Amino acid sequence: MKQPVEGFSKLTKEQKIAWLANTHFNNQEAALSIIRQYWNNDEVLQKLHDEFIENTISNYYLPLGIAPNFLINEQLYTIPMAIEESSVVAAACKAAKFWLQRGGFKTEVLSTEKVGQVHFIYKGNKTKLEQFFNNIKPQLYTDAKEITANMEKRGGGILEISLVDKTKNLDNYYQLHCTFETLDAMGANFINSCLEQFAKTFKNEAQHFADFTEEEKQLQIVMSILSNYVPNCIVKAEVSCPVTALNEDKNIAPEVFAEKFVQAVNIANVEPYRAVTHNKGIMNGIDAVVLATGNDFRAVEAGIHAYAAKDGTYRSLTHASVENGIFKFWIEIPLAVGTIGGLTNLHPLVKIALEILEKPSAKELMQIIAVAGLAQNFGAVRSLITTGIQKGHMKMHLLNILNQLGATEEEKQYFVTYFKDKTATHNAVVQAFNKLRAKA
């Protein structure tokens, strides 16, 4: 029976790995070999990676690919993507090439407001609380000056602080709802530092407010934290062309393609079961770029999925229409990302990814990420309404199956050709592989 381990974080890296081997691995030698195989030979670089998180034992690799030929606002981009799913980068490349010949992607940032909140419990008279807030509001800004000075020099800072009554939702619950502009930084540390200072000032000043009773003076700060829901930090990306230009697939008329495409998007807008998978495909593109550029893909995911359900029903993040012979496909999403701070200043491959993107500002990166999501969704919907999703996906998955089977390079080349005009299901690949081996 395994026993709890005490003081694990204080052990050296080698001691942690030794404990892991003794506690969890049947074949210690094989497991330790794999763990060390993924270490970087450059000790300085490995130490950098070790210090990103606690209790590091190795590095976990994801492929970093690139998708060229993205024409965005008349400028060509090569987009870096970090992802393990086999068909994502290929679909992005195909969509980029398709729209390169039809005017490219048009994007704009509609707003960049970010949000944080101080949540507190107040058991007292609401009117007195409002009076107190109005009295000390200027001091909230003043007491945070040391934190906001550098951000304000760059043109950012605190936008607004408001008192919100949430007692209809939860007894005695109020909040300070705060908005921020953080420019090229994602701004999490900045926002949280401001919020904690607001809470400190709010709590301290409440104890000296003459109109409060003793109970009212003891209002309880529950927590101070930014929100990853940023419905006023919005970017839009779109593509459009005459319906007659949707003529790449000779097996389907452009008019039929456009009609089926719009219907597929409309279905995702009214059917949550479809919408979740539809939006997951969008996030394939978005997450891959967010991860490659050192941003927080969990925060982005949470905010975007909340936005998809903002009217009470989970819906498609993309929209499509045909009007006056013009096909239009677009996306509007909330995105809070940064190009300075955090891993962007530390991770060598993140620096490379940002250099590939020509060192974008946060606003530019928002637009690039939105395009990646839109392109991914276009590729997925196009496959669904024409050949079906499996033909292209399984063809890209073919090498994964062959690697599992231990195929040689020569065998891989043979099967890539063999399955060029066939659907590469797992069963079909295994049967063909066994047949070839038996013949050999």
Q: Choose the catalytic residue: 49, 94, 278, 393.
A: 393
| Alpha-carbon gap, residue 312 to 309, rounded angstroms | 5
| Alpha-carbon gap, residue 78 to 82, rounded angstroms | 13
| Alpha-carbon gap, residue 84 to 62, rounded angstroms | 6
Q: Choose the catalytic residue: 13, 280, 328, 412.
A: 280
| Alpha-carbon gap, residue 364 to 185, rounded angstroms | 12
- Residue entry with tokens 């797992």: 426
**Quick one: CA dihedral 294, 56, 49, 116, positive or negative?**
positive
Q: Which residues contact 29 (CB under 8 A, 6 or more apart)?
A: none
- Residue entry with tokens 């994502």: 88
**225 has which bridge partners?**
117
Q: Which residues contact 289 (CB under 8 A, 6 or more apart)?
A: 79, 80, 81, 368, 369, 372
- Residue entry with tokens 């390079």: 409
User: Quick check: 308 and 316 in contact, CB under 8 A?
Assistant: yes
The DSSP letter of residue 27 is S
Active site residue 355: no
Q: Choose the catalytic residue: 296, 347, 364, 397.
A: 296
Active site residue 123: no
Task: Give ∠ CA 78-154-175 in degrees, rounded to 5.
Answer: 100
Active site residue 393: yes
Active site residue 49: no
**242 has which bridge partners?**
326
Q: Choose the catalytic residue: 13, 85, 166, 205.
A: 85
Query: Which residues are tagged catalytic?
Result: 85, 280, 296, 393
